[in-house]
Amino acid sequence: MFIFIDDLYFQRFNDNYLMQNKEVINGRPHNRPCYISIIEEDNGIQWAIPISSQIEKYKQIYNKKKKPCDTIVFGYVLGKEKAFLIQNICPITNRYISKVYINKSINAPVDISVTLKQELKNKAQKVLSLHNKGVKIIFPDVDKIKEKLLEEFNRVNVRDGSE
């Protein structure tokens, strides 16, 4: 699922390595960057990968990295090549999703090929596994963000009697 993250998330989880919402056109937010939520955990946490249209920039970075590179993946979204930045993956909950990216021509959520989706999921899981083993491969402090998200999630569940 392609999503946009609410500004509240960036205010609550102030991390210089998160890809901040930006770009206002004619006084209106332009919903950038877009993320793909690719992994969901049983605890309500989703892992979101930002997407960039700056293909040349990320191809240069990709080409400088040690191969194989699992932190940047290239693929097509709505017929245009994009860079999926696994190196900037971040945990999120539904509370911070401002909206789903809709393909206006068919009035349905934007989707990608099953092959690309599986590649992103596999590489994201690999990167998260390396991160959990102490390899500094993800830019944002995802452990700190995830801890705060779980605290929020647990507080809401206790208050609602959902435990």
Q: What is the CATH number of the domain that holds 17?
A: 3.10.129.130
* Residue 139: pLDDT band with limits 50, 70, 90: very high
Q: Over the chain, what is the mean pLDDT?
A: 89
Looking at residue 161, its pLDDT comes to 55
pLDDT digits (tens, 9 = 90+) for 104-130: 999 999 999 999 999 999 999 999 999
Beta bridge partners of 51: 34, 84
- Percentage, residues of the chain above pLDDT 70: 88
Residue with tokens 């963000």: 145
Domain containing 51: what range? 2-160
Could you give the number of structural domains in the chain? 1
Q: Tokens representing 82?
A: 């994009």
